[in-house]
Amino acid sequence: MANLPDPALVAVQFSDSSVRVVLADKLQTAVYDQSFEIREMLDQDQWAWDVGGYIATTFALEGKKRSAAAIAVCCPGFVDESSGRLIASRSNPIWNDLDVVGRLRAHFDVPIMAADELRAALRAEMSAMDTPDEESTFYLRLDESYSAVTAYSTSRVIFGGAESYEVSSTLSILPEVIERDSAVYESLSINLSEALAYTRPTVIFIETDAGHFEPIKQALGNLCESLGLSAKIAPAKDDPDKLIHGTIYLASNLALENRLY
């Protein structure tokens, strides 16, 4: 019998308009990358049927008869990782309360996880900075329509043990269109003070328009100093592949946890 290649890590990234499926080897190197246009979904069963089909199609196109070691799905919104549900989409409310893991498990008998795209972005940033073992890191995304935060900690229990969480509700005072006003940045930092004091990050990544980075950095730097934190504050990288790279990392962790590699 011919030796089959190692099972592949499967990273899935989806939005309102497309699904991207990447197969990677155990070294987290992408071996096949395929994108699909996504049609309007009527219900959760249809979503799972189509996305499951895209995953199967990607394996067929790669043509090496691999199996899946683990599947990680990068979602456009806040995910309850304990249940595998996309609780609140940041793009289209059609995805609210989507049972990502439960629906895909009906099609694939392998470990599956769903994660907020911010968690995938944070993981990619940590890997790029060669800081995968930082005790605590923080990722802030801020644009003219919404703000969102995720955090990772190896020393603190965050919301029942999840590694990331969402605090957008605490940032509601921000205007829909951000003005370059120092008072706005100070208000932002004040609303993040409780989260920063709890997670006590050593690195903070900020994803925002270039014009906002320096004033946000200054405001957060002042806050960190008042909290006794010596956090490095860095701009998030503008990399179109960052989310998929972070998702591959999460799939690798999932496979290792289940001793599949």
Both 82 and 181 in a single domain? no
pLDDT value at position 89?
A: 84
Place 101 in a pLDDT band, splitting at 50, 70 and 90: very high
Task: Give the angle 100-101-106 at the CA atoms, nearest 5°.
Answer: 105
Domain-located, residue 83: yes
Domain-located, residue 163: yes
Place 147 in a pLDDT band, splitting at 50, 70 and 90: low
Lowest mean pLDDT of 23-27, 149-153, 223-227, name the range.
149-153
Both 167 and 204 in a single domain? yes
pLDDT average, residue stretch 68-88: 91
Cβ atoms of 12 and 247 closer than 8 Å: yes
Both 143 and 230 in a single domain? yes
Both 107 and 147 in a single domain? no
Q: Which of helix, strand or coil describes residue 156?
A: coil
Whole-model pTM: value is 0.86
Place 41 in a pLDDT band, splitting at 50, 70 and 90: low
* Residue among 140, 180, 176, 136 at smallest CA distance from 158: 136
CA atoms of 68 and 160, how far apart (whole Å): 29
**3-state helix/strand/coil string of 163-216:** CCCCCHHHHCCCCCCCCCCHHHHHHHHHHHHHHHHHHCCCEEEEECCHHHHHHH
The radius of gyration of the chain from alpha carbons, rounded to an integer in Å, stands at 19
Q: Which residue(s) pair with 89 in the sheet? A: 77
Both 159 and 131 in a single domain? yes
For helices 182-199 and 210-227, the axis angle rounded to 10 degrees is: 50
Place 118 in a pLDDT band, splitting at 50, 70 and 90: confident
Percent share of the chain, pLDDT over 70: 82
Place 186 in a pLDDT band, splitting at 50, 70 and 90: confident
**Residues 94, 95, 96, 102: what is their CA dihedral angle, to the nearest 10 degrees?**
130
Place 92 in a pLDDT band, splitting at 50, 70 and 90: confident
CATH number at residue 17: 3.30.420.40
Both 111 and 174 in a single domain? no
Both 142 and 102 in a single domain? no
Both 200 and 111 in a single domain? no
Domain-located, residue 2: no
Domain-located, residue 3: no
In our burial notation (b when 16+ CB lie closer than 10 A, e otherwise), range 213-246 reads: bebbbebbeebbeeeebebebeebeeeeebbbbb
249 Cβ neighbours under 8 A, 6+ residues apart = 28, 120, 123, 124, 127
Cβ atoms of 172 and 109 closer than 8 Å: no
Which residue is listed with tokens 């049972």? 99
User: For residue 240, what are the CA distances in angstroms to 141, 237, 245?
Assistant: 15, 9, 10
CA atoms of 33 and 35, how far apart (whole Å): 7
Both 227 and 252 in a single domain? no
Strand pairing category for 85-89 and 18-24: unpaired
| Better-predicted residue by pLDDT, 51 or 186 | 51
Both 186 and 102 in a single domain? no
pLDDT value at position 163?
A: 41
CA atoms of 71 and 7, how far apart (whole Å): 11
Domain range enclosing 193: 124-235
Both 133 and 35 in a single domain? no
Both 105 and 159 in a single domain? no
In our burial notation (b when 16+ CB lie closer than 10 A, e otherwise), range 84-102 reads: bbbbbbbeeeebeebbbbe
Q: What's the domain count of the chain? A: 2
Place 176 in a pLDDT band, splitting at 50, 70 and 90: very low
